[in-house]
Amino acid sequence: MGNVFYGRSLTVIEDFSIEERRYFFKKVHELKSAVLAGDEKTLDRFRINDPDFGIYEVFLEDSTRTKESFRNAAKFHHAKVSELLCSSSSINKGESYADTFNMLSGYSNTIFIVRSKVEGLCRYLDEESRAYTQRNGLPVKPAFINAGDGKHEHPTQELLDEYTFLEDNNMDFSSLHVALVGDLYHGRTVHSKADGLKVFDNVRVDLIAPPELSMPDSYVEKMKENGFTVRSFSSIEEYLSSGDIADKWYFTRPQLERMGERILQKQAELRASITFRQEFMPRLKEGTKFYHPLPRHKEHPTIPTFLDNTPLNAWERQAINGMYCRIILLSLIAGRIGEDYDGPVRKPDESLTGEEYIVEVDLTGRKADEKVKNYSEGVHPIDNGIVIDHICKGENPSQIRAHMRLISSVLGIDEGRGGEWISRGADGNYKGIIFRPGDYELSRKDLKRLAAIAPHCTLNIIKNGKVMAKFRTHMPPRIYNFDDLCCTNEACISHPSQGESVPSMFIRTSDGHYACAYCGKFHSYKEIWKSRG
Ligand code: NCD
């Protein structure tokens, strides 16, 4: 099967399958044992050992641990390590990310480690570099490692967090009970846990944060879909009173730099609810460990420094593990190790092809002269035209009306004759109907657009008073390739305010939302269109 890790990007934790991650942890364990035993021969088996292998760090946001552990990991490999000095790069002259990174990959750089405020940047660069590599006949397409993108994900931190949990579980994947404490709203390390913790079989997650800093719903939903048992508490105090306490506590720092004025004003109060205190000590479970991605705030650490010299301290070992995990990640992506892996490989878009979401209804057997009697309510029967029926069935009339306006606008049929109608069925449910008399020729792309803006509808095409064709629409697995789509997250690489001209793409989630393919933000199918005045 070859080396499945070779050249792969890690843009979100799900880019590696669960089995691939378990294999990764096994390798980290081997490496760490060899380091501790001073076993140079084993260590050499992990080494890239190529002074021309280019590893490039691009940190557009501050970092100590991630940047330095990657730099030292790259040095372990005897590879070429470079760093873009962002404060003096042409990004400040308005150069696009695509141009910047493509250029650097042209200078024999194979792995990029990227930290940025822009969410989904690595996913975009990974796509963008494919064409550049081909155009310029480069020998390899570069890989991109997300070293933290805004509030979105931090997959390499996730790997080292999980590895440290595993060490404390004697490398046993069968169960995990963890409390996530702190700024769960802004913290990307805890967001990566929604998919990351799937490597464990039975997962219980306790979320401890005041409402202002609570975990966004989409991540809570994802955790539940992934089969985790999730509970929420607004303070450590409240959590301890629940009586059922985790043996692993993962603290995070209030991310003041990402907060608005309103929350900042309350920072002392918020901090108090997520800061550990001496008086809590007797209420901890035996064998409890504390973890933290770090940094801690020097004046207001959520894990106070008096705990440093106690058995609770796992956060220091966690940070040290960061370098071992990053050595293994580079080794895998460079194809130095990984040949012996034979488990499932993560193929991101596998489930999304071949699904039919525009289904033509078979009209044979219907009476040849069947009129469009259903559509004559309130308007004249239509001789030629289109009727879109069953719009927003079950919603209230004003929601249906608003959505019919959006449908007309998105389909470009708001200038035509005809009208909109709301009817109420025998079951008491309202539904919307759009009538458009006239000559309409709908292409396959128009039908795709219709399914995207009006799923669960029927489209009737009427010619000479007869329904000539009827289609039922379902939620498309992916919505893309329309230039009026827009992710609502301003920090997303695909948002127009980023000025990078990245076309939007949305992927249906198992609970019927559309996640942005770049930043992962959940939307309803109504929310993904550029606002129309
Ligand atoms: C975290 C980050 O940057 O997301 N730090 C890290 O990578 N070790 C957490 C933080 O900044 O609080």
How do residues 231-255 score in pLDDT, each as one tens digit?
A: 999 999 999 999 899 999 999 999 9
User: Is any atom of ligand 1 closer than 6 Å to the C-beta of 294?
Assistant: yes
pLDDT recorded at residue 346: 83
Locate the ligand 1 atom nearest the alpha carbon of residue 157 and give its number.
7
Top CATH class, 169-310: alpha beta
Contact 196, 16 (CB under 8 A): no
Substitution candidate for ligand 1 out of 294, 318, 323 with most atoms within 8 A of CB: 294
Residues in Cβ contact with 420 at an 8 Å cutoff, skipping those fewer than 6 apart: 401, 404, 405, 408, 432, 433, 434, 435
pLDDT band at 96 (very low <50, low <70, confident <90, very high): very high
Gap from CA of 488 to ligand 1 centroid (Å): 25
User: Is any atom of ligand 1 closer than 6 Å to the C-beta of 273?
Assistant: no
Contact 448, 358 (CB under 8 A): yes
Query: What are the residues facing 143 on neighbouring strands?
Result: 111
Fold annotation for 356-476: Alpha-Beta Plaits (3.30.70)
Q: Cα separation of 361 and 281, whole Å?
A: 66
Phi then psi for 148, rounded to 5 degrees?
115, 115
How do residues 200-236 score in pLDDT, each as one tens digit?
A: 999 999 999 999 999 999 999 999 999 999 999 999 9
Strands of 80-83's sheet, edge to edge?
80-83, 54-59, 111-116, 143-149
- Tokens standing for residue 257: 């730099």
How do residues 505-518 score in pLDDT, each as one tens digit?
A: 999 998 899 999 99
pLDDT recorded at residue 85: 87
The CATH 3.40.50.1370 portion of the chain extends over 13-154+323-333, 169-310
Question: What is this structure's pTM?
Answer: 0.94
Amino acid at 72: N
Q: Give residue 491's Cα distance to chain centre.
A: 13
Amino acid at 55: I
How do residues 254-295 score in pLDDT, each as one tens digit?
A: 998 888 888 888 899 999 999 999 999 999 999 999 999 999
E strands present in 397-447 = 419-424, 430-437
**Mean pLDDT score, 20-36:** 98
User: Is any atom of ligand 1 closer than 6 Å to the C-beta of 192?
Assistant: no
The CATH 3.30.70.140 portion of the chain extends over 356-476
* Pairing, β 458-463 against β 385-391: antiparallel
Gap from CA of 293 to ligand 1 centroid (Å): 6
- The closest residue, in CA terms, to atom 1 on ligand 1 is 293
Query: Superfamily assignment of 13-154+323-333 in CATH?
Result: Aspartate/ornithine carbamoyltransferase (3.40.50.1370)
Q: Cα separation of 204 and 224, whole Å?
A: 10
* DSSP string of 88-114, one letter each residue: GSGGGGT--HHHHHHHHHTTT--EEEE
Q: Cα separation of 312 and 327, whole Å?
A: 27
Provide the H-helix boundaries in 280-425: 315-333, 397-411
